[in-house]
């Protein structure tokens, strides 16, 4: 690497650090936008229709101006073929396109205009309403726009069935409990006179569930259960149903305390508003007002942009930024101290859903958002623990106590297979993948290599011995989950580049030698997929194909690959130099990088995320780590 490139490296780190420090709040945290696809704006319009249509059939909500802003935001992202994708540059997605069509048409967009005719043609080409996912069908059925008998039942009686609810993922149970109230109490919300979307049905195609491949299968079994549920809805005990609905209500309300809305994520928060409305909580009711306020806090409307965030990523953003600045050595001690103090203040100290399977474990861990006490997650906890290894707050004793509790909690949350999942332990009951409303690919929360690698790194940084049973089992898990090409699957970031970088860092932190075959294979795979411009890029289509799918280089994915190579022991390859040069070359004068692509993952093949801090925090971390590695050799 030439002297001029090394000088550029120093300048790049300095500029990136300066910009990042300018973004820190007075309280010590960092918080970037988190954006997704048009389904959030489409569902917002659906909610406005739900809330205001009962007051008259005219579409005239108080939020009409914001509905118009939502319409413009949706139309601005229409694809060339008329549909709507679930990530920038991706193919049109049927369910997202159907949601958009409904939202646009009910908002008054001319169905005979070019945007709508192209959208309708795209939907019909992809199979029409009959082929969209179960949650789209359920939402439409709430307005009598899809036959109720052909949508999955979400019975509130689930809450009476012991631990069945807790075999679902945390996010799935947070959705289905309020949704069960909504579906069981709703008799069909009114729509404007004459409104229909019948034009989206493909003629001659059944509206019913697709027939299972075999009648002797779990899918067939659950379709039978769904028929029983529908009979129960018509003829079952009213008292049992009323009891179930009341228990669902109490479950929801309990989990809206000490949090920014139910599970602090968009879908449960939306269904909570609808459920409280049906339960008779009128505007002015404290629970309803709080639910609506938390939901509308997710809206960004600055006059130039209008969009909804799926949640707030503030704890996550802060932990990554703290780690990057500490690694760079460019942050004033006071800045890191404020960040550490703020992170320590966010430690969970109440038992949540996770404690159902770990009742004897002392509460700890960290969540993703500003407040979400019932749902600390293992990934955030690992990332915060890494940050706290590099940043010291004002109250050293409090920080050390929090770190100690966090370590105990992480170790207790290790699954039977040796890995770690996101929110729960051993949440991998495979039969649940076959329930009729499980086609959103999010019913379970199995272990994954990316989180497991991060947890191993966090534990090692805080002194857990490589001989500790949890470390040994974690290493065995990662070795056993390596793909045949040398990569690892990334559940929460796109995709194999993300998983590989974290798995290698975790293995090396846990004491694995750079000469181990699994480490060598990983580094060789990373070098093999580098783009000609020196960067790395990967498409969300990797999740669909089940293998790495190349894409244009991005700052975040390039940084992950660079960090993975450095962790593997590669400090002198041409690949490293080219990656560093790519990041220096693509940096903007203000110290930031551009990245319109979605490199974060909500639900593979269903929902992707663009973390707006990734493009700036990960390059700083990668460049600073590279500089340290080179300095150690000189």
Distances (CA, A) of 184 to 157, 177, 206, 234, 600: 10, 11, 24, 11, 34
Q: 385 with 454: CB under 8 angstroms? A: no
Contacts of 389 (CB under 8 A, 6+ apart): 458, 461, 462
Give the tens place of pLDDT for each residue, 284-332: 999 999 999 999 999 999 888 999 999 999 999 999 999 999 999 999 9
Q: 536 with 553: CB under 8 angstroms? A: yes
Average pLDDT over residues 105-118: 96
pLDDT at 73 over 80: yes
Name which of 619, 634, 521, 538 is nearest 579 in CA terms: 619
Could you tell me the pLDDT band of residue 59, with boundaries at 50, 70 and 90?
low
Please report the pLDDT score of residue 438 as a whole number.
67
Could you tell me the pLDDT band of residue 610, with boundaries at 50, 70 and 90?
very high
Which domains can be identified in the chain, with CATH numbers? 3-34+311-427+441-633 (1.50.10.20), 37-132 (no CATH), 149-195+204-308 (1.50.10.20)
* Helical ranges in 431-554 per DSSP H: 449-461, 469-481, 496-509, 517-528, 541-545
Please report the pLDDT score of residue 263 as a whole number.
96
Return mean pLDDT, the chain: 94
DSSP E strands in 522-617: the ranges are 600-603, 607-611
Whole-number Å distance between alpha carbons of 445 and 428: 6
Please report the pLDDT score of residue 194 as a whole number.
86
Tokens matching residue 502:
């974290």
pLDDT at 218 over 80: no
Please report the pLDDT score of residue 54 as a whole number.
56
Please report the pLDDT score of residue 531 as a whole number.
98
Please report the pLDDT score of residue 58 as a whole number.
56
Q: Centre a 10 Å sphere on the Cβ of residue 588 and count the other Cβ atoms it contains.
A: 13
Average pLDDT over residues 447-457: 98
User: Quick check: is 379 catalytic?
Assistant: yes
Among residues 379, 380, 495, 570, the one annotated as catalytic is 379
Please report the pLDDT score of residue 61 as a whole number.
61
Q: Quickly list DSSP for 301-347.
A: E-SS-EEE-SS--HHHHHHHHHHHHHHHT-S-HHHHHHHHHHHHHT-
Average pLDDT over residues 523-530: 98
**Residue 602: DSSP 8-state:** E
Element (H, E) at 46: helix 39-52
Q: Centre a 10 Å sphere on the Cβ of residue 60 and count the other Cβ atoms it contains.
A: 11
Tokens matching residue 105:
């048409």
Q: Phi first, then psi: give them for residue 259, nearest 5 degrees.
A: -155, 165
Q: 437 with 154: CB under 8 angstroms? A: yes
Q: Percent helix, strand, coil in the chain (nearest 5)?
A: 55, 5, 40
Q: 519 with 568: CB under 8 angstroms? A: yes
Whole-number Å distance between alpha carbons of 599 and 266: 20
Whole-number Å distance between alpha carbons of 546 and 549: 9
Q: 450 with 378: CB under 8 angstroms? A: no
Coil/strand/helix, residue 483 = coil
* Helical ranges in 390-461 per DSSP H: 396-412, 449-461
Q: Quickly list DSSP for 288-303.
A: HHHHHHHHHTTEEE-S
Whole-number Å distance between alpha carbons of 502 and 86: 25
More confident residue, 440 or 189: 189
pLDDT at 270 over 60: yes
- Residue bearing tokens 């006059």: 303
pLDDT at 57 over 70: no
Could you tell me the pLDDT band of residue 215, with boundaries at 50, 70 and 90?
low
**Residue 414: DSSP 8-state:** -
Coil/strand/helix, residue 610 = strand
Give the tens place of pLDDT for each residue, 336-368: 999 999 999 999 999 999 999 999 999 999 999
Return left, alpha or beta for 633; rule: phi > 0 is left, psi -120 to 50 is alpha, else beta.
alpha
């Amino acid at each position: 690497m030439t002297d001029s490139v090394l000088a550029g490296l120093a300048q790049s780190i300095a500029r990136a650090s300066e910009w990042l420090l300018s973004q820190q709040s007075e309280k010590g945290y960092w918080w970037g936008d988190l954006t997704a696809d048009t389904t959030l704006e489409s569902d917002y319009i659906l909610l406005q229709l739900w809330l205001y249509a009962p007051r008259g059939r005219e579409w005239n909500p108080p939020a009409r101006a914001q509905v118009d802003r939502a319409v413009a935001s949706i139309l601005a992202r229409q694809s060339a073929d008329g549909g709507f994708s679930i990530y920038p540059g991706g193919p049109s997605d049927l369910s997202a396109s159907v949601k958009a069509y409904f939202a646009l048409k009910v908002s008054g967009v001319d169905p005979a205009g070019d945007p709508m005719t192209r959208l309708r043609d795209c939907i019909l080409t992809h199979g029409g309403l009959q082929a969209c996912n179960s949650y789209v069908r359920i939402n439409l059925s709430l307005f009598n726009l899809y036959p109720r008998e052909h949508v999955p039942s979400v019975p509130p009686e689930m809450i009476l069935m012991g631990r069945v609810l807790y075999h679902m993922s945390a996010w799935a149970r947070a959705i289905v409990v309020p949704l069960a109230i909504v579906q069981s109490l709703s008799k069909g919300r009114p729509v404007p006179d004459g409104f229909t979307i019948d034009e989206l049905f493909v003629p001659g195609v059944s509206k019913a569930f697709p027939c299972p491949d075999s009648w002797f299968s779990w899918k067939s079994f659950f379709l039978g259960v769904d028929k029983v549920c529908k009979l129960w809805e018509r003829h079952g005990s009213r008292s049992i149903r009323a009891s179930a609905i009341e228990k669902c209500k109490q479950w929801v309300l309990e989990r809206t305390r000490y949090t920014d809305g139910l599970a602090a994520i968009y879908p449960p928060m939306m269904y909570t508003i609808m459920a409280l409305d049906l339960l008779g909580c009128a505007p002015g009711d404290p629970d309803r007002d709080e639910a609506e306020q938390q939901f509308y806090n997710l809206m960004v409307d600055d006059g130039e942009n209008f969009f909804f965030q799926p949640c707030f990523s503030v704890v996550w953003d802060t932990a990554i930024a703290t780690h990057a600045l500490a690694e760079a050595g460019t942050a004033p001690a006071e800045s890191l101290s404020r960040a550490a103090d703020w992170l320590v203040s966010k430690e969970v100290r109440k038992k949540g859903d996770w404690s159902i399977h770990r009742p004897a474990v002392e509460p700890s861990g960290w969540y993703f958002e500003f407040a979400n006490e019932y749902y600390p997650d293992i990934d955030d906890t690992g990332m915060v623990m890494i940050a706290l290894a590099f940043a010291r707050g004002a109250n050293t004793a409090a920080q050390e106590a929090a770190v100690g509790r966090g370590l105990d909690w992480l170790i207790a949350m290790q699954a039977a297979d040796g890995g770690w999942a996101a929110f729960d332990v051993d949440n991998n009951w495979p039969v649940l993948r076959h329930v009729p409303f499980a086609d959103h690919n999010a019913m379970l929360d199995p272990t994954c290599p990316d989180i497991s690698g991060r947890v191993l790194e966090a534990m090692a940084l805080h002194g857990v011995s490589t001989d500790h049973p949890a470390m040994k089992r974690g290493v065995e898990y990662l070795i056993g989950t390596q793909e045949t090409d040398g990569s690892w699957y990334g559940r929460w970031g796109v995709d194999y580049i993300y998983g590989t970088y974290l798995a290698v860092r975790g293995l090396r932190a846990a004491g694995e030698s750079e000469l181990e075959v699994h480490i060598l294979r990983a580094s060789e795979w990373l070098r093999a997929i580098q783009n000609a411009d020196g960067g790395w890029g990967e498409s969300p289509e990797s999740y669909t194909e089940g293998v790495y799918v190349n894409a244009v280089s991005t700052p975040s994915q390039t940084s992950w690959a660079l960090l993975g190579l450095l962790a593997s022991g590669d400090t002198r390859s041409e690949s490293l130099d080219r990656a560093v040069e790519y990041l220096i070359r693509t940096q903007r004068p203000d110290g930031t990088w551009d990245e319109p692509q979605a490199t974060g993952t909500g639900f593979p093949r269903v929902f992707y995320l663009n973390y707006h801090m990734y493009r700036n925090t990960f390059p700083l971390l990668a460049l600073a780590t590279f500089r340290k590695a080179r300095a150690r050799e000189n």
